[in-house]
Structure 1
Amino acid sequence: MKKIYKPVAVLMLGLSLFSCEKIVEDLNVDPNNPTDAPANLILTGTQLSNVVVQEGIASLLVSIWSGYATGHDRQWRDYANYNITSGNFDSEWNNVFRGTVNNARITIDKAMMLNNRKMAGIAKIVMANSLATATQLWGDIPLEQAGQIQEYPNPMFESQADVYTKLLALLDEAIADLETGIGTVGAEDIHFGGDATKWIQTAYTLKARLLTDTEQYAAAYTAAENGISTYANSLYAPHGQIANINQNQFYAFLTQTRPGDISAASAYNVNLLDPASSTYRGNAKTDESARFLFYYRPVGVNTSGVAEPNTSSTATARGFFAMDARFPMVTYQENILTLAETALRSGMGVEQALEYLNSYRNFLSAGGYVDPTYQTTAASKYEPYEAADFAAGGIENQDGISQEDALLREIIQERYVTFYGTHLGWNDERRTRGEVYEVGLSPNAGTELPWRFIYPQNELNSNSNAPTVVPGIFSKLPIYE
Structure 2
Amino acid sequence: MKRIYKPVAVLMLGLSLFSCEKIVDDMNIDPNNPTDAPGDLTLTGTQLANVVVQEGIASLLVSIWSGYATGHDRQWRDYYNYNITSGNFDSEWNNVFRGTVNNAQITIEKAMELNNRKMAGIAKIVMANSLATATELWGDIPFEQAGKIEEFPNPMFESQADVYAKLLILLDDAIADLESGVGTVGDEDIHFGGDATKWIQAAYTLKARLLTDTEQYEAAYTAAENGISTYENSLYAPHGEIASVNQNQFYAFLTQSRPGDISAANAYNVNLLDPKSTTYRGNAKTDESARFLFYYRPDGVNTSGVTEPNTSSSATARGFFAMNASFPLVTYQENILTLAETALRSGMGVDQALEYLNSYRSFLSSGGYIDPTYESTATLKYEPYVAADFAAGGIENEDGISQEDALLREIMQERYVTFYGTHLGWNDERRTRGEVFGVNLAPNTGTELPWRFIYPQNELNSNLNAPSVVPGIFSKLPIYE
TM-score category by the smaller chain?
over 0.9
Question: What's the offset of the Cα at 1:382?
Answer: 0.1
Which residue is 1:381 aligned to? 381
The secondary structure found in structure 1 opposite 2:321 is coil
1:302: Cα distance to partner? Answer: 6.8
Deviation at 1:29, TM superposition (A): 2.9
Shift of 1:165: 0.1
**Superposed CA offset, 1:431-480 (max 9, x none):** 00000101010000000000000000000000000000000000000000
Q: 1 CA distance for matches of 2:323 and 2:219?
A: 38
Contact 2:202 2:235 (8 Å CA) reproduced: yes
Q: CA–CA distance in 1 between the matches of 2:368 and 2:192? A: 20
Give CA deviations for 1:7-56 in whole Å, capped at 9, x if unaligned. xxxxxxxxxxxxxxxxxxx9963110101000000000000000000000
Q: For residue 298 of structure 2, what is the aligned residue in structure 1?
A: 298
2:18 corresponds to which residue?
Answer: none
Q: Secondary structure at 2:448's aligned position in 1?
A: coil
**Aligned equivalent of 2:14:** none
Residue in structure 2 matched with residue 360 of structure 1 by the alignment: 360
Partner of 1:272: 272
Corresponding position of 2:424: 424
For 2:186, the equivalent position in structure 1 comes to 186
Deviation at 1:305, TM superposition (A): 1.9
Residue in 1 aligned with 2:4? Answer: none
Tell me the equivalent position of 1:245: 245
Q: What do residues 147-203 of structure 1 show as CA deviations (whole Å, max 9, x unaligned)? A: 000000000000000000000000000000000000000000000000000000000
Could you tell me which amino acid in structure 1 is paired with residue 88 of structure 2?
A: N
Q: Distance in 1 between matches of 2:58 and 2:452?
A: 11
Tell me the equivalent position of 2:396: 396
Partner of 2:460: 460
Q: Which runs of 5+ in 2 are unaligned?
A: 1-25
Alpha-carbon distance between aligned partners in 1 of 2:372 and 2:241, rounded to the nearest angstrom: 19
Shift, 1:91, TM fit:
0.2
**How far has the Cα of 1:376 moved from its partner?**
1.6
Q: Which residue of 2 aligns with 1:164?
A: 164
CA distance in 2 between counterparts of 1:363 and 1:315 reads: 23
Cross-structure match for 2:141 = 141
CA distance in 1, matches of 2:249, 2:301: 22
Cα 1:301–1:383, aligned 2, differ >3 Å: closer, same or farther? Answer: farther
Secondary structure of residue in 1 paired with 2:468: coil
- In structure 2, do the counterparts of structure 1 residues 422 and 303 end up closer, same or farther at CA, with 3 Å as the change threshold? closer
Query: Aligned residue pairs: how many?
Result: 456
**Letter in structure 2 aligned against 1:88:** N
Hey, what's the Cα distance between the residues in 1 that align with 2:58 and 2:229? 28
What are the residue-to-residue correspondences of 1:206-217 with 2, within 5 Å? 206-217=206-217
Give the direction of change, closer, same or farther, for the CA distance of 1:303–1:147 in structure 2 (3 Å limit).
Answer: closer
Alignment of 1:20-39 (within 5 A): 29-39=29-39
Alpha-carbon separation, structure 1, partners of 2:193 and 2:223: 24
For 1:55, give the aligned amino acid: E
Tell me how far apart the structure 1 counterparts of residues 241 and 64 of structure 2 sit (CA, whole Å). 26
Offset of residue 299 of structure 1: 3.9
State the Cα RMSD in Å.
Answer: 1.0
Structure 1 pair 175–28 and aligned structure 2 pair: CA distance change class (3 A): closer
What is the CA distance between 1:255 and its match in structure 2? Answer: 0.1
State whether structure 2 residue 438 is matched by structure 1 residue 438. yes
The answer to whether the 8 A contact 2:259-2:303 is kept is no
- What residue is the counterpart of 2:80 in the other structure? 80
Distance 2:160 2:190 in 1: 30
Taking structure 2 as the reference length, what is the TM-score of the superposition? 0.94
298-307 vs 120-129, which moves further: 298-307
- What CA deviation, in whole Å up to 9, does each residue of 1:81-132 have, x standing for no partner? 0000000000000000000000000000000000000000000000000000
Paired amino acid for 1:453:
F
| Alignment partners' CA distance in 2, 1:365 and 1:137 | 33
Deviation at 1:233, TM superposition (A): 0.2
Give matches, 1:13-412, under 5 Å.
Answer: 29-299=29-299, 304-412=304-412
Please identify runs of 4+ aligned residues in structure 1 that moved more than 2 A: 26-29, 299-303
CA distance in 2: counterparts of 1:302 and 1:401, whole angstroms: 42
CA contact (8 A) 2:260 2:303 kept: no
AA at the equivalent of 1:286: T
Q: What is the rounded CA distance, in whole Å, between the counterparts of 2:411 and 2:250 in structure 1? A: 27
Q: Distance in 1 between matches of 2:322 and 2:105?
A: 33
Amino acid at match of 2:203: A
Give, in whole Å, the separation in 2 of the partners of 1:302 and 1:288. Answer: 24
In structure 1, how many angstroms separate the alpha carbons of the residues matched to 2:430 and 2:342? 17
Once residues 113 and 301 of structure 2 are traced to their aligned partners in structure 1, the CA distance between those partners, rounded to angstroms, is 56
Shift of 1:378: 1.0
| Partner-residue secondary structure (3-state), 2:369 | coil
Question: Residue 329 of structure 1: SS of its match in structure 2?
Answer: strand
Cα-to-partner distance string for 1:278-329 (whole Å, 9 max, x where unaligned): 0000000000000000000014777612100000000000000000000000
Matching residue's letter, 2:304 = S
Instruction: Determine helix, strand or coil for the equivalent of 1:109.
Output: helix
Q: Which runs of 5+ in 1 are unaligned?
A: 1-25
Q: Which amino acid aligns with 1:49?
A: A
SS at match of 1:396: coil
What per-residue deviation string (whole Å, max 9, x for no partner) do you get for residues 324-367 of structure 1?
00000000000000000000000000000000000000000000
Matched residue type, 2:452: R
The answer on whether the counterparts of 2:28 and 2:34 sit within 8 Å (CA) in structure 1 is no
Match of 2:21 in 1: none
Matched-pair identity in %: 88
SS of residue in 2 equivalent to 1:88: helix
